[in-house]
A and B are shown apart, each in its own frame.
Chain A
Amino acid sequence: MSEESISDRELLLGCRRGNDRSWRLLLDRYERLVFSIPLSYGLSREDAADVSQLTFTIFMNSMEGLREDSRLGAWLATVARRHTWRAMGKKKREMVRKDRDLAEYAADLLGEREEGFEAWELTDRLDRALGGIEAACRKLIVILYLDAAQPSHAEVAGRLGMPVGSIGPTRARCLKKLRAVMEVQ
């Protein structure tokens, strides 16, 4: 069985039995989503690491009480958002508007109209779609568009050892592949 085909329910049951592989798969599947939630709200990598550790620790202590049909990504994102707010303190109210704005673009990006689409789902779907394209493309898109530092094309060229002139055409090819993967998801 491929790792992708293992359901959330199987992961949850495996984790409850103390199966290390299930726990590892759970972390592989959701650690980027959980780590990215505090980063998306401007927390430092250190604070984001704290939120990640806390979120997965709370999951570990709560998994016996979770329903077997739980959507683990949604559950983890719920805890991560709570503790992102907690870590941000009084700045937190600015974030609500951001979530609402993001959800407005979800339909065009995902090719579907869904009520109440949440920002975390967008991050999760992006993460999964990026997992469906080759590593070089994934790396380029993440650095160009999803890196908190927002580096220039020249900096990206330096980091990836690519000629600056090839970034534009390569990123277009990679975005096209990403769109194709998101369409069939």
Chain B
Amino acid sequence: MPETGRPDFERLADWAEGRLSEEEALSIARQVEESDGEALAEARWIEAFMRVSADVVLDSPPPEIGQGLMRAFEERFATGREAPVAEQGITRRVMAALAFDSGFQASFGVRSAGSPSSEAQRQLSYETGVADISVSIQPRPGGRFDLLGQALPLGDEDPEDFTVQLVGVDGVEAALTGADDLGEFAFEGVGGGSYQIVIATPEAEILTPSFTL
């Protein structure tokens, strides 16, 4: 027998979880359609929660992690030395040095250095002891930019293992991608602003100085 009235939260949860028979589910769907806006909002919230919770895992780390980090913090302030990252699987963090910036070069005699043109393509190259990095900044109409880059390892690392992250000046991710087998990577349609590129290789984390689009 079809249900009438406004479905309660439990029925809506059963419905969203697929726990009802086809007939019951149709009946609830009809009730939601015909009921006030609150029932529809509840149904949408439950559906969104079920969808999100299917992909999100939320768990507490084992207590040893927090205990170890508390000890590391105390040691850092007792010794004044940075906490070692090698124990966590990367041997070093490397600041890349800017080796070439076509924006600065093109601007000599035209405008002050440090104000590269926002209309022309710009090429940046960085050197580190781990990999050489080049980035081509290509302006798009509408004030956005495509960043096409390549990270070439100096050793025998596979560049496909490189993770490349575009990070804003607030240290928050703007985009994340991986390099391909040639070490190439791309960020498309990036908005104006200041960024740095952070490349995580199997053994090091490479940070470029920040640049402005």
Interchain CB contact under 8 A, B61 and A48: yes
A169 and B59 CA atoms in complex are apart in Å by 24
Interface contacts (Cβ under 8 Å), in number, total 195
A32 and B61 CA atoms in complex are apart in Å by 7
A48 and B57 CA atoms in complex are apart in Å by 12
Interface of A is mostly: helix
B56's partner among A56, A77, A126, A168 (CB-CB below 8 A) is A126
Interchain CB contact under 8 A, B171 and A70: yes
Stretch at the interface among B22-30, B70-78, B102-110, B119-127: B70-78
Known: A20-B73, A70-B171. A146 touches B53 (CB 8 A): yes
B191 vs chain A, min Cβ distance (A): 10
Interchain CB contact under 8 A, B58 and A126: yes
Q: Contact residue range for chain A?
A: 35 or more
A54 and B68 CA atoms in complex are apart in Å by 11
Q: Does A147 contact B (CB under 8 A)?
A: yes
Interchain CB contact under 8 A, B57 and A78: no
B51's partner among A48, A105, A172 (CB-CB below 8 A) is A105
Binding site for A on B (CB under 8 A): 8-10, 13-14, 19, 42, 44-53, 55-62, 65-66, 68-70, 72-74, 76-77, 82-85, 87-90, 93, 160-161, 163, 165, 167, 169-173, 176-178, 198, 200-202, 205
Query: Which 6 residue pairs spanning A and B have beta carbons closest together?
Result: A172-B10, A18-B77, A54-B88, A108-B48, A145-B53, A85-B163
Binding site for B on A (CB under 8 A): 15, 18, 20, 23-24, 27, 31-32, 34-36, 39-40, 45, 48-50, 52-54, 56-58, 60-62, 66-67, 69-71, 74-75, 77-78, 81-83, 85-86, 89-90, 92-93, 96, 98, 101-102, 105-106, 108-109, 111, 118-119, 122-123, 126-127, 130, 142, 145-148, 168-169, 171-173, 175-176, 178-179
